[in-house]
């Protein structure tokens, strides 16, 4: 049996990418197991998705901690206590600090709904649509101390159609997110990702 990579997933919202990872783990399309889902939002629907799948959850609210360091320490403790190796951000709406990154060096990945380095940050699909691009897409990348600036693992392109709205483009990008995020996790599980400066080499 292939090695099952222990995953921790950080969420803030609806959790459709979390659901994609859950489904791919269940169907054995990726050699991974979600050990815990952690959120900074007690109302995140992603938590219900995790509970329905029988996955442990943890909630840490920023207002409950006197400092960012203590707040992030709670996240780190939730991840390490469940034996997490790879941390997946799935709609997690906070910047990861250098201290957090040190604990999981080159073991935190994120999905972004644009073709980085274009349109980093929030509302990337709307940014791309209103800018008038002809091609958009999504990116899986390793997380560094910047905002969506880490080395790129995989990208998928999505053409912008004449009849598109910002919402229809967002929906088609999301379909591709659900394809490439599990694929990137599987590449990690197979030990095929090597970071060389700004480049991620798939071995």
Residues tagged active-site? 112
Distance between CA atoms of residues 186 and 30, nearest Å: 5
Is residue 31 a contact partner of residue 3, using CB atoms and an 8 Å limit? yes
Which of 28, 24, 34, 35 has the alpha carbon at shortest distance from 1? 28
90 within 8 A of 9, measured Cβ to Cβ: yes
- 3-state secondary structure labels for all residues of 42-54: CCCHHHHHHHHCC
Q: Are 89 and 110 in contact (CB under 8 A)?
A: yes
Residue 9: phi and psi, rounded to 5, are: -115, 125
């Amino acid at each position: 049996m292939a090695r099952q990579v222990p995953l921790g997933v950080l969420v803030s919202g609806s959790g459709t990418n979390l659901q994609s990872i859950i489904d791919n783990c269940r169907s054995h399309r990726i050699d991974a197991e979600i050990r815990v889902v952690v959120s900074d939002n007690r109302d995140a629907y992603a938590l219900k998705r995790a509970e329905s799948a029988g996955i442990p959850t943890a909630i840490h609210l920023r207002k409950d901690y006197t400092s960012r360091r203590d707040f992030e320490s709670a996240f780190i403790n939730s991840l390490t206590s469940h034996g997490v190796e790879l941390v997946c951000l799935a709609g997690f709406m906070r910047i990861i600090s250098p201290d957090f990154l040190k604990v999981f060096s080159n073991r935190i990945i994120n999905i972004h709904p644009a073709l980085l380095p274009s349109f980093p940050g929030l509302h990337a699909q709307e940014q791309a649509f209103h800018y008038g691009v002809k091609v958009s897409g999504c990116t899986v990348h390793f997380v560094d101390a910047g905002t969506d600036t880490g080395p790129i693992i995989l990208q998928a392109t999505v053409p912008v159609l004449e009849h598109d709205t910002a919402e229809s483009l967002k929906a088609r990008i999301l379909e591709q997110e659900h394809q490439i995020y599990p694929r990137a996790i599987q590449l990690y599980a197979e030990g095929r990702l090597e970071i060389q400066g700004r480049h991620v080499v798939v071995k």
